[in-house]
Structure 1
């Protein structure tokens, strides 16, 4: 009997506002479909505080993947959609005698994920949960901490114990095991869209420039540690610029811009907004160093994306791929203090030879280590094991 995967995610393409997690889910579904795995995506019209302009309640093809969008009643991070949950129950009942079902839920703490898990448990359907960074002490205490604690005590803990957890890095696995006991936990890296261009013509002249070019490319939110980064940059004694690419809450971005002004950094910060997928690799390649001083990051797709074009990275030690970067000497790893960040940026600036070597060797190694062709077999094997 064949396996069918029901992918449950509160947001899906083209909801790029949610950044890396949404793109990782879509990439996984696309590659599974290419490998002839039967799957269907159930998602909502969530697009931040607005809704996607898409047809609802009927399956459609999105880059080859069968996706059904459902309207949500709540316009916040709860993403409550009774019609999605009703459809999930219908598909479970319909498929019980037709195929072996596995339900793969992405992210946690939203009502779609929690109630989908409960429905699957009622019908004894195996659940794979990819928390996407949502099951860490940082996330548990960062936003709506009291509500999360209540949910965890009343039903979350029992539901999570029913799940087979998919972690994207060794660090995420360690974070998860600090406070839950799942049926099993398996580490498989995210599938990441990599640059198809092996060489950019302007890269050779980049190292001849006198200004050190840094780039932050991610969703702009508090956990990214941008305040610490700005304080570190204010202490540098050489010429530099920072490109900030991404979107976020208007109020928070306004706070950051006020901090930039108070530190007298206006002339060195370039705010470029959300960047299309087709443009981000060229933009990354135009910079000497990608910086990500996050307080918590289960994986960080942008690290792989940056290294795929040869741009070195500077990460906090709370980023899931920090161990990978250290192991391969693909950049610098910093503590979460402005002084440590400043020192490591200075080290990156001074070590031109290391940056040139990373530019030379990283693309080939990264494209091998994060090959979709290799990783997808690990995902398929994982589904078969939990079923």
Structure 2
């Protein structure tokens, strides 16, 4: 079987957050299984790295953590990512392979010219397509940021191409969002493969002896409007518990400055520490030092950081619009809130007061996460899905 992964951005473009981690982790896990299962795996991507370009060799494929990756120069920046050489290579590969009954194109994300035009080429050659929207096929995504461009794509070719695709969703929440937009040919739910901590941290050792009553909260993600930080700030302004918030992540300077101004207006700026983007090596230690991870997003198809946090035993407080909210509720790994400042404030108070629940999560979550998000088990589900599509 040949699997061609197509994505507008790939490692090491970590500026794009969770999707980069998810796609890379999946491809690396498939690569491990490739030889044993007779799989030919390739990744086509661009040099996208936000407003800059990755410093990579575009003249030949590169081995990136065991995965054969070809980077192509893009002619346009975010969010169109127009890369003619990539599209030409997709055409050549699919033309040569179209009589092979065991080939599938796996496209990641939507609303960019790499994804849409690659899908069009695959449809032209009659090659099956698996599309992982990565949160791009929701009402929130359609109507926020570049909505005119998205509407134009959808009305011209997007709607017809989507009906050609088999859809991969990462959560039941994402399935609901997708079904509100269109009815897929097929839709399957498989969670993301997520990098988790290799060691379990001790909750008692991480609390500061100097400030044992300080409630430590962390936000670790891209800093953008959909993450609901304004909502969180409004809730924290009315929280009576002694608290400190660490914000780890990067975003557009103008938007971050606006958030900092809002924090000053609410008189909570002295309780917030902005530390910027954190490396993969450091984030687990940072998460383990906190009492609670918060993610009050307006829309998230999955949210890798929830699993990352629970893998070190740090409880979570997330909105009911986060894809993993049903999992958190089922396992009782934290608190799920509506998108209302009063409700968020109430959940924060509950989390701060319930030491027993937080201690129990600290002890139990890492073991359960290791089992539920086992790479080998999840990658087999993906391989079975590819087989079903080619059949």
Alignment deviations for residues 7-32 of structure 1 (CA, whole Å, 9 cap, x no partner): 00000000000000011000000000
Give the alignment partner of residue 279 of structure 1, picking from 255, 277, 282.
282
1:370 aligns with 2:373: yes
Q: Distance in 1 between matches of 2:339 and 2:99?
A: 53
Aligned positions of 1:221-300 closer than 5 A: 221-300=224-303
Question: What displacement does 1:146 show?
Answer: 2.5
Question: What displacement does 1:337 show?
Answer: 1.1
- For the residue of structure 1 that corresponds to 2:194, the secondary structure is coil
Alignment deviations for residues 123-157 of structure 1 (CA, whole Å, 9 cap, x no partner): 00000000000000111111122221222121111
1:346 aligns with 2:349: yes
Q: In the alignment, which residue of structure 1 is the partner of 2:70?
A: 68
Q: 1:33 to 1:99 in 2, by over 3 A?
A: farther
1:170 aligns with 2:172: yes
Q: In the alignment, which residue of structure 2 is the partner of 1:307?
A: 310
1:358 aligns with 2:361: yes
Question: What displacement does 1:237 show?
Answer: 1.0
1:123 aligns with 2:125: yes
Alignment deviations for residues 49-98 of structure 1 (CA, whole Å, 9 cap, x no partner): 00001111410100110000000000121000000000111111233356
Q: Distance in 1 between matches of 2:212 and 2:113?
A: 50
Q: In the alignment, which residue of structure 1 is the partner of 2:110?
A: 108
* Range that drifts further, 191-200 or 322-331: 191-200
Q: Distance in 1 between matches of 2:215 and 2:264?
A: 20
Q: Distance in 2 between matches of 1:304 and 1:68?
A: 30
Kept in 1, the 8 Å contact 2:214–2:243? The answer is yes
Aligned positions of 1:321-336 closer than 5 A: 321-336=324-339
Q: Distance in 1 between matches of 2:66 and 2:96?
A: 23
Q: In the alignment, which residue of structure 2 is the partner of 1:27?
A: 25
Kept in 2, the 8 Å contact 1:4–1:99? The answer is no
Q: Distance in 2 between matches of 1:99 and 1:176?
A: 28
- For the residue of structure 1 that corresponds to 2:152, the secondary structure is helix
- For the residue of structure 2 that corresponds to 1:78, the secondary structure is coil
Question: What displacement does 1:218 show?
Answer: 0.4
Question: What displacement does 1:261 show?
Answer: 1.1
Give the alignment partner of residue 145 of structure 1, picking from 139, 144, 147.
147
* Range that drifts further, 56-65 or 112-121: 56-65
Q: In the alignment, which residue of structure 1 is the partner of 2:387?
A: 384
Q: Distance in 1 between matches of 2:138 and 2:222?
A: 19
- For the residue of structure 2 that corresponds to 1:279, the secondary structure is helix
Q: Distance in 1 between matches of 2:339 and 2:323?
A: 14
Question: What displacement does 1:182 show?
Answer: 1.4
Kept in 2, the 8 Å contact 1:206–1:286? The answer is no
Q: Distance in 1 between matches of 2:91 and 2:157?
A: 19
Normalization by structure 1: what TM-score? 0.97
Instruction: Identify unmatched segments of 5+ residues in structure 2.
Output: none
Kept in 1, the 8 Å contact 2:203–2:359? The answer is no
Taking only aligned residues, the RMSD between alpha carbons, in angstroms, comes to 1.3
Q: In the alignment, which residue of structure 2 is the partner of 1:13?
A: 11
Question: What displacement does 1:200 show?
Answer: 4.3
Q: Distance in 2 between matches of 1:178 and 1:92?
A: 32
**Could you list the runs of 4 or more consecutive aligned residues of structure 1 that deviate by over 6 angstroms after TM superposition?**
none
- For the residue of structure 2 that corresponds to 1:35, the secondary structure is helix
Q: In the alignment, which residue of structure 1 is the partner of 2:55?
A: 53
Instruction: Identify unmatched segments of 5+ residues in structure 1.
Output: none
Kept in 1, the 8 Å contact 2:4–2:44? The answer is yes
Q: Distance in 2 between matches of 1:130 and 1:203?
A: 40
Question: What displacement does 1:375 show?
Answer: 0.3
- For the residue of structure 2 that corresponds to 1:347, the secondary structure is helix
